[in-house]
Structure 1
Amino acid sequence: MELKELQKLEGHKDSVLSLSWNPVTGVGQVPPVFSSCSDDETVRIWQLNPSTRSWDCKAVLEEVHNGPVHSCAWAANGTGLAAACYACIVIWDREGGGYSHSATICAEDEYEVNSACWSTSGYFFASCGGDEVCLWVGTLGNDFEDLEELEGHSKDVRMVQWHPTLDVLFSCSSDSTVKVWWAETEEDSWTCVQTLDESSNGHSSTVWAFSFNAEGDKMVTCSDDLTLKIWQADIKRMQSGHGYAPWNHICTLSGYHDRPIFSVHWSREGIIASGAADGAIRLFVESKDGLMTGPSYQLLLKKDKAHDKDVNSVQWIPGEKRLLASASDDGTIKIWELTEST
């Protein structure tokens, strides 16, 4: 296989820190749209031009962010966009062809907000900064009510993300752990129901990011310890109302990056992409050789020098088969196509 560079997107004036795909685009006749955020205190909106097959910057969201934008995330309905900044989350609403600033959610403590996200149901909203995970309830167009502060991490929380089909929240941290938060009923408080740490075959250093497969029964995590780890859970058990289903380590991928791995993303067709401080991108797939007991994963492709500096984010483009985007400290975003080598 070959990872072919299709286009380099320029416009940001500093490191590009995160990418997020609008989940309702790239389907049918709707062109795919994604957002990028940067140390330059802006969010840019990019859209694929179906006729030219080039990516165009359709909007620059700025002025209201109070510092570098560490991450951006779309709501499940594709109309809301959250930008995580210093001590606040800025909410943008997509209306027609434009964007308007609709709300600013302030963190009680003045810490860097590293990540923010909506649940798939659209009812919950979460963010993280310092060693805390904050949980709100609310919907777009309404005020967000502070629900709970979830304490348990001992160092900075790097990322929060909801399970793709369940109202279960995950967080990863510089304390080398991934924590799973859940409330069994609406009346129950949210609690940490599982901690994935070194004692459970987890990571030995900062966990930067994680991603779920299309079915939601597997998760991949990436770390400063130069490894990726695959986890599995019986999600059908939770979907059928039979209580919490724990996550179990099934595979570790090591020796493929020689510097911290900052980003990982699982495509809908089962390809895992990773990006790291070595400027490289790696792709992995499940092994089908039948020699291992249980699932195992193998290297599909390595792309050295994908960027001149750290790769901070990798994201597969939904609706566009085998297209990948990457963002870097070199200030650029690159669009790649995975093809058969010639």
Structure 2
Amino acid sequence: MSITSDEVNFLVYRYLQESGFQHSAFVFGLESHISQSNINGALVPPAALISIIQKGLQYVEAEISINEDGMMFEGRFSESLSLIDAVMPDVVLAKQQQLREKMAALKLKKEQEKQLNAEEKLQQNNGDNPATNVLSVNNSLPPSSLPLTVCTSPSNSTALMTTTVVTAATSTTNMKQQEPQTNGDHTIHATNASSGIVQQPDGNEPMEVDSSQNDIKLSFNNSTVLRGHDSEVFICAWNPTQDLLASGSGDSTARIWNLKEDAVTSTSTPSTIPQQLVLRHCIKDGNQEVPSNKDVTSLDWNCDGTLLATGSYDGYARLWGTNGHLENILGQHKGPIFALKWNKKGNYILSAGVDKTTIIWDATTGVAKQQFPFHSAPALDVDWQNNTCFASCSTDMSIHVCKLGHDRPIKTFDGHSNEVNAIKWDPSGSLLASCSDDMTLKVWSMKHDTFVHDLCAHNKEIYTIKWSPAGPGSNNPNHNLMLASASFDSTVRLWELEKGACLHTLTKHHEPVYSVAFSPDGRLLASGSFDKCVHIWSTHTGQLVHSYEGTGGIFEVCWNAAGNKVGASASDGTVCVLDLRK
């Protein structure tokens, strides 16, 4: 067996990425020279480090279960071994001693039972009443050791468990099983699925039952699983004018999936779609182009859906046509690109990088119009306020509002006490929301120097935020504006901004929530979590209306322009499309 530091470092690096610690993963990758190792990351399955640790724990448990003569104990300790316990020799020895004492007690109990049985047999040979002997034996045993008879009612196939108690009138040689009580003709009655009501057979009032789980769970017919990526799929985005879904992955490719109905052949199944374009992110190596082996971290369609911009850990942004043709390469960042956005007009692209800068690019020429070196640490996210003005946030805990042609920020917001993960302007461009590892969500206005709302309710890091498409500047001007926040505390919260109050707390997820997205009409909210679930909620009531469980942790969710499909990208390399029309 051989273990190299490169192999250990790579598994730790992948664990950090899969756990959402993208910035920690980047710094660790630099210091451990991950890029210089010859490990093919595409061949390493997700959760590889956790898998090998679990196997190590199983080995330690097996080691504890071996007695002094090398034989396995006839059982194992009931408590599961924690990872910290497994690396502490004193704890392992204590567990082993605990198991030995338990087995010794069981062995003594068996010997006592054996002796008791021998005495019973001796009494039978002396002509004693066997029924009395049986009674005395069973009275010495705890209730849990009484023999159990499991019966199945043919009328409802429901397992009924009955306890056969041995009494003085019961013979051990002719012990008769008690007949389980059955429900006769009243075993099962029809349920009205739409109303969730069961009609009682005796004319009593109808009884309500919870049929919500069956109603909200999306079926196989509602979902299409797109396979092709060889690594985690970090991001996905719908084309605004066509039924095309783009995805970006750790396999150094982006893909454009054609989900138009006429593109799906008659031989297609719900788990495969034949048409996909593979956008390979390559770099120059001498006179050759070779795969960059770097993650595609961000992607965004322009307003008319003709061009897709992608950002990569190789430090380059790229522009692609809907036919998969590489139109341009934008190279001025010195290190990974974390965020990439088109402006509404479609003439500029904005990017944020680990090199602490943000850049506005000319989309036609691919030339950097202006680079903004104002952050003191990696820039994590950017968002346009209008066609020439934008905001950026960073691990330096600050937010800068910058404008093309200005050599200093026109506004700086300070108030977070930890790195700021995401920022978003509301549809009118008057309010800016930010979320942070300090577990707070803040709302800022260009008219004030400090935040106008400081929303504190989450108890872990807030990963992302989204505004509802409502109010001035949106397609739903008469709807009330809301803000959604997704946190590592496994919850999603919906906020109203007039009073800064939490309207709904959505609690069905069981792992960190990485993404939220409002439907185009603002009536529904999709959320994606590392518990492999995509949940779709009513923004009015906060109720769960649809639910889907995939095969990998969900990194991103997005709606198509029509509002009838949800795309989701996952840690196991799959992309899922949920069709809400079916």
Change (3 A) 1:3 1:99: same
Q: Which residue of 2 aligns with 1:328?
A: 570
Change (3 A) 1:108 1:211: closer
Distance in 1 (CA, whole Å) between partners of 2:255 and 2:238 is 12
Q: Which residue of 2 aligns with 1:84?
A: 311
1:167 aligns with one of 364, 388, 401: 388
Q: Which residue of 2 aligns with 1:318?
A: 561
Q: Are 2:511 and 1:268 aligned?
A: no
Alignment of 1:150-189 (within 5 A): 150-152=373-375, 154-163=376-385, 165-175=386-396, 179-183=399-403, 187-189=405-407
Displacement of 1:36: 0.4
SS of alignment partner, residue 296 of structure 2: coil
Distance in 1 (CA, whole Å) between partners of 2:449 and 2:387 is 12
Assess if the C-alpha contact under 8 Å between 2:556 and 2:570 holds in 1: yes
SS of alignment partner, residue 19 of structure 1: strand
Count of aligned pairs between the two proteins: 300
Q: Which residue of 1 aligns with 2:224?
A: 7
1:249 aligns with one of 450, 453, 457: 453
Distance in 1 (CA, whole Å) between partners of 2:425 and 2:567 is 17
Assess if the C-alpha contact under 8 Å between 2:329 and 2:366 holds in 1: no
When Rg is computed on C-alpha atoms for both structures, the one with the higher figure is 2
Displacement of 1:132: 1.7
Change (3 A) 1:286 1:222: farther
- CA deviations over 1:112-150 (Å, ceiling 9, x no partner): 21222221223332211226232224132x131341224
1:181 alignment partner AA: V
- CA deviations over 1:54-109 (Å, ceiling 9, x no partner): 75533111152622211112222322222211343242332xx6232232222342
Alignment of 1:98-137 (within 5 A): 98-109=323-334, 111-130=335-354, 132-137=356-361
Displacement of 1:223: 5.6
Identity between Structure 1 and Structure 2 (%): 22
Assess if the C-alpha contact under 8 Å between 1:134 and 1:148 holds in 2: yes
- CA deviations over 1:271-320 (Å, ceiling 9, x no partner): 33332334344445555xxxxxxxxxx6332877734433211111112x
Change (3 A) 1:174 1:57: farther
Assess if the C-alpha contact under 8 Å between 1:87 and 1:107 holds in 2: no
Q: Which residue of 2 aligns with 1:143?
A: 366
Distance in 2 (CA, whole Å) between partners of 1:170 and 1:258 is 32
- TM, length-normalised to structure 1: 0.71
Q: Which residue of 2 aligns with 1:45?
A: 256
1:59 aligns with one of 270, 274, 277: 277
Q: Which residue of 2 aligns with 1:300?
A: 543
Q: Are 2:302 and 1:75 aligned?
A: yes
Structure 1 portions without partners, runs of 5+: 26-30, 199-203, 235-242, 288-297
Change (3 A) 1:6 1:39: same
Pairwise CA RMSD of aligned residues? 3.8
Distance in 2 (CA, whole Å) between partners of 1:310 and 1:129 is 25
SS of alignment partner, residue 132 of structure 1: coil
Distance in 1 (CA, whole Å) between partners of 2:325 and 2:252 is 16
SS of alignment partner, residue 11 of structure 1: coil
Assess if the C-alpha contact under 8 Å between 1:224 and 1:260 holds in 2: no
Q: Are 2:238 and 1:21 aligned?
A: yes
Q: Which residue of 2 aligns with 1:294?
A: none
- TM, length-normalised to structure 2: 0.44
1:89 alignment partner AA: Y
Displacement of 1:42: 0.7
Change (3 A) 1:131 1:194: same
Displacement of 1:246: 8.4
Change (3 A) 1:176 1:330: farther
Displacement of 1:221: 5.6
Distance in 2 (CA, whole Å) between partners of 1:10 and 1:286 is 31
Assess if the C-alpha contact under 8 Å between 2:233 and 2:571 holds in 1: yes
1:48 alignment partner AA: L
Change (3 A) 1:81 1:253: farther
| Structure with more of its chain in helix, by fraction | 2
Change (3 A) 1:205 1:282: farther
Distance in 1 (CA, whole Å) between partners of 2:449 and 2:566 is 31
Change (3 A) 1:219 1:108: closer
Change (3 A) 1:145 1:205: closer
Displacement of 1:180: 4.6
Distance in 2 (CA, whole Å) between partners of 1:17 and 1:78 is 21
Structure 2 portions without partners, runs of 5+: 1-214, 283-290, 459-488, 492-508
Distance in 2 (CA, whole Å) between partners of 1:74 and 1:11 is 21
Change (3 A) 1:249 1:135: same
Assess if the C-alpha contact under 8 Å between 1:160 and 1:170 holds in 2: yes
1:168 alignment partner AA: C
Displacement of 1:231: 4.3
Distance in 1 (CA, whole Å) between partners of 2:442 and 2:579 is 24
Bigger relative contact order (CA 8 A; separation at least 6): 1
Assess if the C-alpha contact under 8 Å between 2:516 and 2:525 holds in 1: yes
2:525 alignment partner AA: I
